[in-house]
Amino acid sequence: MSPEHSHSPPSSRPPSTQRAEPQKSRSVMIARIVGIFCVAGGFVLGIQGLDQPNSPLLSMALGLIVIGMVAQVFALVRSWYLHSHRNI
């Protein structure tokens, strides 16, 4: 074996790892987008619910805000997990 073939380039990875990284970061982006839209929609419904105090809009708004915050926390934890395992 020749010396030039003994070392593989540092950027070469197995094909499964190259395909898995964009899918993992895609899940973080989807969670962030869902979180942003849910929080924004929750605030809009909450503002409309303040005009109509007997409607279920306030509870729906609170639910959307909670779902949005959970999605944002998931994205934060997932991105931290991916970043910590990428540096190993």
Number of domains in the chain: 1
Instruction: Give the length of the chain.
Output: 88
The stretch 1-21 carries a mean pLDDT of 54
Question: Could you give the 3-state DSSP secondary structure of residue 53?
Answer: coil
Does residue 33 or residue 16 have the better pLDDT?
33
Confidence of residue 18 (pLDDT cuts 50, 70, 90): low
Contact (Cβ atoms closer than 8 angstroms) between residue 43 and residue 65: yes
Domain housing 72:
24-86
Region of 84 (left: φ > 0; alpha: ψ -120 to 50; beta: rest) is alpha
Domain annotation covers residue 1: no
Domain annotation covers residue 39: yes
Domain annotation covers residue 42: yes
Q: What is the pTM of this model?
A: 0.69
Domain annotation covers residue 11: no
Domain annotation covers residue 12: no
For residue range 34-83, list pLDDT tens digits in order. Answer: 999 999 999 999 999 999 878 899 999 999 999 999 999 999 999 999 88
Domain annotation covers residue 77: yes
Domain annotation covers residue 2: no
